[in-house]
Structure 1
């Protein structure tokens, strides 16, 4: 039986990532030109020699099922697995849609018990980072903790979106607060630079320790905490906890040994259009914050039988280009990401563009049909000028289209559903058609 069982939380509706999550689960969102978000935690597990993995999801999980089934196959002797546990309705009235991270795990306790692990590692499915979980496990076992939480130093201006922790000299968590909004609420969680640097991490003005959403539980303690009612202020009652950050940790920090494991590598929550867009563009820079080329901790994904990309006299600068792409003559692409099977027509100018690509190449018959119907080809037609945009899979951008850079706070939904603007970024949803000459 495995010593450690990994559970990857697929997240909720992913509304902050709309329209990327309009037709797919958040862990199935493409990243890095050829990967999906779910590949990050699964690859971290495999590289950490943890091969027993469940992925918990409930929204639009068909493409996620397909990707996992086609990608992660262990041999019969290793007995490793990557399986989906989708939310499902049952006769038990306690079983239904997941109400939060803790509720999702509690509804799948039967699967945890079946594997009989010593510890359960709980991960998020929408983060970009590289971590050796064996180091987390070592911290957990050496400290004889019941729970260990991965923590990363952050500056004060970033604290509003995280749970914060205060520790003693040994790294044991003394108090926990979820997403404090005021300076007064944050004040008790200020951590001196000397304490952080004593742990071997340079402070650099990052004096708050944020919860990364990575937890290691002793299995028996996990089950105890999930089944222990906690105060619910909203209903003025004692209810089973539904969320780790809001319910479980704040209510058990005093009576349980909760340890912190400090991490100082690149880590980004890709939960919003802005963070997804900015991080994707940074991958093409000379020194990207996250390097998919690193031989240490490779990121795995589904193998595709695609040809090498073809560049026909185009100018490229700080660009990530995946397999099977064609960039037309006279085009310039700057600070962008071009996903698998992308086609960019001649004389186009792209800047700060994230292009997801396509599921397939169009045949000659399909190209002729496009011409007959007056429909643009996949993906970008000739003579387009596109800046600060995100083009989802299988979209069709006609010839001479202009997509300009908008104000950072711009937010708009096209009545025809052809595009959406989030944080000033124009997002063309999957399969959308932008007609020739349209200016956005």
Structure 2
């Protein structure tokens, strides 16, 4: 926007997502379907674009074809205004090696920064579910004069080992310590059972980021990671500030979904986040017309219910044909549920077919899975454990096109 500082968005989307197998067996984690019609990468891109960050590079690496295609075909910006969202595959610009870590990914892509010459760089992760207005974080960053501002959210101290943990100084904003996945971090003053977890979203002053990347590249002991290397370095130099995500207010938000952010890095977290979508007053509301979520709409007819088919407390995408019974589930485009079939508490990706009289309960089925007539998933735990991936909480997951015996 004219009159505002120049900001380049860099989205880190090269993650393998091993904990989300088998959904990531054939694609990068940011390309995994979420909420019926979306990909995980759509959530960060929607926030950046809604927040007037309109020049964005998506750094990809692991099994990136599906992700590259989605970004290229969906995220078309105005070339007249010089805006773009572009996938940037690993290019081996610094030698015959792939990215060593998230910091190295940006180091190897500094040509993007040199070409754009932004005042600030927003480095955001690509695999979380949330809404955020990045302008508010940018304004704090500029006002504070920090070298880097890191977005943090309060989580239980018992969950600290899954995140980078930010210890704020007595002023509440300067970062005193940054610990990557600590097992026993200090609690917050006034809230000893909580810590600030890094959301993986950072805003850098350009010169500070470039300098830090070059210093990190020269350190043979570094893991070349944003949370494991750059943030501790900049914290020690007194250049890091905390942005409290709870202070971020998005137009059109509700009291229930204010401050919603989920790391869906495991099957259980992925499944539970879907349950947040389907209540009458959802914890995370997909329908916010003032801060929309964007994706490719597809060319499919509206969902159709016939032969007594019903769906309750569910999300049913275009192209679905429901002849059976669907409850508390999320259905992606093109799903068919035949007569007498029952789908309960499940997440079905594109073009899943549930045959006549089949039962699917508490499951996540990737695209093109064909459940034969009379087959059951989620009915016999012992059989399910022998045939499929089962999470710690008992969520059953089938990979893309996985065979289901009749």
TM normalised by structure 1 equals: 0.83
- Quote how far apart the aligned CAs of 1:256 are: 3.3
Identify the residue that residue 339 of structure 1 maps to in structure 2.
Answer: 332
Identify the residue that residue 188 of structure 2 maps to in structure 1.
Answer: 190
Give the Cα separation in 2 of the matches to 1:119 and 1:240: 24
- Quote how far apart the aligned CAs of 1:280 are: 1.4
1:137 and 2:126 correspond: no
Pick which of 141-150 and 289-298 moved more.
289-298
Give the Cα separation in 2 of the matches to 1:222 and 1:304: 38
One of 30, 34, 39 as aligned partner of 1:27? 30
The change in CA–CA distance for 1:112 and 1:206 in structure 2 (over 3 A counts) is farther
Larger Rg: 1
- Quote how far apart the aligned CAs of 1:251 are: 2.6
Give the Cα separation in 2 of the matches to 1:103 and 1:24: 21
One of 233, 255, 263 as aligned partner of 1:269? 263
- Alignment check: 8 A CA contact 1:119 1:217 kept: yes
- Quote how far apart the aligned CAs of 1:412 are: 4.9
For residues 213-263 of structure 1, give each alpha carbon's deviation from its aligned partner in whole angstroms, at most 9, with x where no partner exists. Answer: 0000011100111111489xxxxx744551111111223312132111101
Unaligned runs of at least 5 residues, structure 1: 194-204, 232-236, 359-377
Q: Equivalences for 1:341-360 in 2 at 5 Å? A: 341-358=334-351
1:386 and 2:365 correspond: no
- Alignment check: 8 A CA contact 1:410 1:422 kept: no
- Quote how far apart the aligned CAs of 1:141 are: 0.7
For residues 167-210 of structure 1, give each alpha carbon's deviation from its aligned partner in whole angstroms, at most 9, with x where no partner exists. Answer: 2215111111111113xxx12x42325xxxxxxxxxxx863111
One of 76, 79, 83 as aligned partner of 2:79? 76
- Quote how far apart the aligned CAs of 1:281 are: 2.6
- Alignment check: 8 A CA contact 1:227 1:240 kept: no
For residues 68-93 of structure 1, give each alpha carbon's deviation from its aligned partner in whole angstroms, at most 9, with x where no partner exists. Answer: 12111122322111111111335x43
Unaligned runs of at least 5 residues, structure 2: 247-258
1:422 and 2:391 correspond: yes
1:219 and 2:206 correspond: yes
- Alignment check: 8 A CA contact 1:393 1:431 kept: yes
Give the Cα separation in 2 of the matches to 1:257 and 1:405: 55
Give the Cα separation in 2 of the matches to 1:404 and 1:44: 36
- Alignment check: 8 A CA contact 1:153 1:206 kept: no
- Quote how far apart the aligned CAs of 1:343 are: 0.2
Q: Equivalences for 1:32-431 in 2 at 5 Å? A: 32-90=35-93, 92-93=94-95, 96-168=97-169, 169-182=171-184, 186-187=185-186, 189-193=187-191, 207-229=194-216, 238-239=220-221, 242-264=224-246, 265-312=259-306, 313-328=308-323, 331-358=324-351, 379-404=353-378, 412=385, 414=387, 419-423=388-392, 424-431=394-401
Give the Cα separation in 1 of the matches to 2:92 and 2:237: 34
Pick which of 20-29 and 95-104 moved more.
95-104
Give the Cα separation in 1 of the matches to 2:125 and 2:384: 28
Q: Secondary structure at the match of 1:211?
A: strand
Give the Cα separation in 2 of the matches to 1:5 and 1:352: 40
- Alignment check: 8 A CA contact 1:281 1:354 kept: no
Give the Cα separation in 2 of the matches to 1:270 and 1:410: 26
